[in-house]
Structure 1
Amino acid sequence: MTDHTPSSRSAARATRPVRTKALSALVHGICLSLLVGTVAPAWAQFKASPAVSPRIPGNRSLSTELKIEGMQATTDYILAVVNQEPITHTDVDKRVARITDTAPAGSRLPPPEELRQQVLDALIDEKVQISHAKTIGMDISDQELDASIENIAAQNQMTLEDLRNRMQSDGLDFQRYRNSLREQMLLQRLRDREVNSRIQITEDELTTFMKEDPAAQAEVALNVAHILIAVPEKATQVQVAALLSKAQAIQERAAQGANFAQLAKDNSADTKTKDQGGALGLRPASRLPELFVATTTKLKVGQVAPVVRSNAGFHIIKLIERENSAQATYTQQRARHILLRTSPQQPAREQIDRMNDIRKQIVGGQTSFAQMARQYSEDGSGARGGDLGWAAPGQFVPEFEKALTALQPGQISEPVVSRYGVHLIQLIERREVQLTEQQQREAARSVLRERRFEPTYEEWARELRAAAWIEMRDAP
């Protein structure tokens, strides 16, 4: 996202269309790992495919989820050299450990040696791309890196000193963390610029696409719930038959009207959704597994599909809601905010304390939100009392959007840290709005762009890799 001046665009906004498909998450095995994006788990990237590393997420932003991982003691040696940069046995070990640690119960990973080879291929691609970024003069400045680390620490309720101390107590190297984070930010920026610039969609292509492809005319959004009966990787035929029988029995109960949410809580092996009754929430069809979309195509809302099989096991799937963006309304939100920008001289922790004082005065009735915005906000909206106007989904940066969505009209958030600084947010009102013809075209453009991103990325990555100097080495 370009950092527009306050007079041209609020610092809370993100330049994204109304509906976009979040791309596969990029998972990196660094000592202090940052999950990039929220869509695909680390284990999901590995399958029979060309040796191309995973893509960056659609919102192009680093998550603030902070995970400290312990150091692994091992005898190290070099497995590959990419343009004079080594990839070691330990590098691969850490990435493999990250993937296996985040794989959900019942998921199937490749055999250990195949997994290690795929991880090595992904690391080679990253080294090649980082080398290319440096060759064309792309870099992440120290100031930008410092601001990102400061904001990440603040969103995890830590000061920068707290972060350093925690890493030190866990035997981790802060400088190595900085270097790793710089590389991930650089990869993100490079892929965003070079891959997207290759995808050109003309108006004629878009018109033809909308006329000829039903799925692209208006992207369908689905709310699907499922129950996973996991099948172990080395299950015998007898075990598989027993698990199928169990799944069919649950499906029959669900189809006859039993409480699906309770069945999911009692039986589902998907730990990420079982506590929500198996529901995935309303998502564009392009962000759902193809199996789920295909299974629900002929279902009416409220119906339960016959049992289907995936690599993870057997699924009982229920269609909770279907929305077609050609006819549907979407939710607009009108909010106001106060922004205190962060800097080395004004770190996030200090700005959070200032914002808490401001919030206390507003909530206590000593002043109004609009008055404090005019007095303190460092965003162009401050002159309007912080009013951001009506906004569609996806127009704000993720941290801001998440906090805003959780509010009820009139409520004021706690301080929220984003890449732009510290925000205080008040939701004014919400409304449902019909999609315009232009918004329908933009939704279709997003679908077409997403379909083209994967092959475009893979072609670009292969070209870079073919031009790189890569030396593979045998283990001692």
Structure 2
Amino acid sequence: MKNSFKLFTLASSLFLGAAFTLQAEEVPLDRIAAVANTGVVLESEIQDLLKSIKQQAKNNNQDLPSDSALRVQVMDKLINDSLILQIGERMGIQVSDAQLDETLSNMARDNNLSLEQFRENIIADGLDYEQYRESVRTELISGEVRRASMQRRIYISPQEVSNLLKMMKEQSTNEVEYQLGHILIAFPAEPSQEDINAAKIRADKVIELLNNGSDFAKIAIASSSDSNALKGGELGWKTVNEMPTLFSEIIDGKDKGTILGPIRTGLGFSIVKVMDIRGKEVVEIEEVQSRHILIKPSVILSEAKAEEMLQGFLDKINAGEADFADLAKEHSEGPTSVKGGDLGWANPNSYDPAFREALARLDIDEYHKPFRSSFGWHLVQLTGRRMLDATERMNENRAYQLLYNRKLAMESARWIKETRDQAHIEVFDLEEK
């Protein structure tokens, strides 16, 4: 099995709750471990997630902190997940079974597996497939909630984009990327000077442990308040332009293994480690040209009927009995219907993931069988593919995204902190038996 599959399994376990099958033997009565607004965290969820993390850590030879420290992180994660899902429910965000099946099929395909082989591998890892399937649904909903919330909170001015573009033009094209690890020693809400001093002492202790050779990931899992704590504090690969400004100013030019901090922020003290360094890869920009027919299911048009309609259209097109553009003008519910479904040239990354994946599998002039995206059911034809050098417009888009990513980490942490501060959270002290 690919490493990416194992990593996704671990990430899903860490973020989305456990998926271990209950034994047929006697099971104690479940108990409520925490209340988060209208949601609850059950003791069984905590125990299942703890077991899942330990099993995955064993599979990956990853050290873990003490059970008590791990339980705190697991409890925080499950409380956060509950609050985020409640927000998603109020926003009306849903993931249909068809969307979920398409996502799982794409995951299987990315690992060169059939969906059945993918399912068998999940079970072989000791996970219950149906619970795993629902955890993927939860991840998709959580991702949409976070994206929608961040879009409302993060503002990028035209002047910021202009300034960054000027800086990018002055830099070398072989830009350096840093793989970062992050530990956040957070302040409580409305911290006193005593709280700040105590956090500083804890941060200094963490740096001392790291400088003496302690495992960064283990300490992050045990001590960090950042949302990436259960992933060992991993922030991934970033250029200095993608980092929060406070980080970029001190990390630029540092060597692999450098530990920096504590860095005072509005959330607490940050500790950053340069895990690795590499030269930025130069990637050409691909654009695709396509056209589609969109059918949206409704109370009077089922998912199955929408798929059946599009399959019927495809059969007629292949038989030479109908024209794609004419069918799109008559039946498509998308804004491009008046243009015969033509979507023009576009960066495929701008499309819905299911739509992007469908286009990636097509040759020019080939049709894809009907598939489901978050917008509805599609019949799509790829009509062109080309590679382009970055244009000024695309450089502007990249600059905007770099600025967005720079602000995202801090704003996301601030958002979840505000969400928790405004919520009614009650944690019950349950003794293990």
Give the TM-score band, short-chain normalised: 0.5 to 0.7
Shift of residue 93 of structure 1? 2.8
- The one-character-per-residue Cα deviations of 1:126-182 (angstroms, maximum 9, x if unpaired) are 334456x49xx9342xxx74x72354357779xxxxxxxxxxxxxx9x9x9999899
Matches within 5 A, 1:281-292: none
Q: 1:453: how far off?
A: 0.8
1:446 is aligned with what amino acid?
A: Q
Contact 1:151–1:348 (CA under 8 A) maintained in structure 2: no
Cross-structure match for 1:421: 376
Q: Which of 96, 100, 105 lines up with 1:148 in the alignment? A: 96
Asked if the contact 1:210/1:217 (under 8 Å) is kept, the reply is no
1:82–1:217: structure 2 CA closer, same or farther, 3 Å change rule? farther
Contact 1:82 1:471 in 2 (8 A): yes
Distance 1:458 1:435 in 2: 32
| 8 Å CA contact retained: 1:87, 1:124 | yes
Distance of 2:133 and 2:278 partners within structure 1: 45
Aligned counterpart in structure 1 of residue 90 of structure 2, from 129, 138, 160: 138
SS of alignment partner, residue 414 of structure 1: strand
Match of 2:344 in 1: 389
Residue-pair matches, total: 317
Q: Secondary structure at the match of 1:138?
A: helix
Amino acid of the residue matched to residue 416 of structure 2?
A
**Counterparts of 1:106 and 1:68, CA distance in 2:** 18
1:82 positional shift? 2.8
**Of Structure 1 and Structure 2, which has the larger fraction of its residues in helix?**
2
Q: 1:88 aligns with which of 39, 42, 50?
A: 42
Partner of 2:393: 438
- SS class of match (1:331): strand
2:148 corresponds to: 193
Q: Distance in 2 between matches of 1:216 and 1:70?
A: 53
Q: 2:419 aligns with which of 464, 469, 475?
A: 464
Structure 1 distance, partners of 2:346, 2:6, is: 23
CA contact (8 A) 2:98 2:372 kept: no
Deviation at residue 455 of structure 1 after TM alignment: 1.2
- Partner residue of 2:10? 43
Cα distance change on mapping 1:190 and 1:217 into 2, 3 Å: farther
The structure-2 alpha-carbon separation of the partners of 1:94 and 1:363, relative to structure 1 and needing over 3 Å to count, comes to farther
Give 1:457 shift.
1.2
> Which residue of structure 2 aligns with residue 356 of structure 1?
311
The whole-number CA distance in structure 2 between the counterparts of 1:153 and 1:430 is 27
SS in 1 for 2:298: coil
Is the CA contact 1:81–1:87 (under 8 Å) kept in the aligned structure 2? yes
Question: Hey, what's the Cα distance between the residues in 1 that align with 2:5 and 2:133?
Answer: 22
Does the 8 A contact of 1:196 with 1:453 survive in 2?
A: no
Matching residue of 1:374: 329
Helix, strand or coil for the counterpart of 1:458?
A: helix
**Alignment map for 1:274-285 (pairs within 5 Å):** none
User: What one-letter code is carried by the residue in structure 2 that aligns with 1:393?
Assistant: P
Name the CA distance, whole Å, in 2 between partners of 1:45 and 1:181.
Answer: 7
- C-alpha change, 1:424 and 1:91, in structure 2 (3 Å) is same
State the 1:441 CA deviation.
1.9
Deviations, residues 218-260 of structure 1 (Å, cap 9, x unaligned):
79699xxxxxxxxxxxxxxxxxxxxxxxxxxxxxxxxxxxxxx
Q: What residue number does 1:16 align with?
A: none
Per the TM alignment, residue 69 of structure 1 is displaced from its structure 2 partner at its CA by 6.7
Q: Does the 8 Å contact 1:211/1:217 carry over to 2? A: no
- Seen in structure 2, the aligned counterparts of structure 1 residues 68 and 365 have a Cα distance that, compared at 3 Å, is farther
TM-score (norm 2): 0.58
The TM-score with structure 1 as length reference comes to: 0.53
* AA aligned opposite 2:156: I
- CA distance in 2 between counterparts of 1:201 and 1:316 reads 29
Contact 1:92–1:116 (CA under 8 A) maintained in structure 2: yes
CA RMSD of superposed structures (Å): 4.9
What is the deviation of 1:375? 3.7
Q: Does 1:401 align with 2:356?
A: yes
Relative to structure 1, the CA distance from residue 416 to residue 128 in structure 2 (aligned partners, 3 Å threshold; closer, same or farther) is closer
Q: CA deviation at 1:334?
A: 0.8
Residue 111 of structure 1 deviates from its aligned partner by 3.6
Which one of 382, 402, 405 corresponds to residue 450 of structure 1? 405
User: Structure 1 186/410 Cα, relative in aligned 2: closer, same or farther at 3 Å?
Assistant: closer
Unpaired runs of 5+ residues, structure 1, are: 1-36, 47-52, 57-66, 158-171, 223-282, 289-296, 299-306, 309-314
Which position in structure 1 is the counterpart of 2:245? none
Paired letter, 1:138: R
Distance 1:413 1:421, change over 3 A: same
Which amino acid in 1 is paired with 2:97? I
Q: Could you say which structure has the greater relative contact order, defined with CA pairs below 8 angstroms and 6 or more residues apart? A: 1
1:401 CA drift (Å): 0.7
**Counterpart amino acid of 2:71?**
R
CA distance in 1, matches of 2:79, 2:399: 34
CA distance in 1, matches of 2:37, 2:70: 24
Query: Residue 338 of structure 1 aligns to a residue in which SS?
Result: strand
Q: Residue 200 of structure 1: SS of its match in structure 2?
A: coil
2-structure distance, mates of 1:103, 1:348: 40
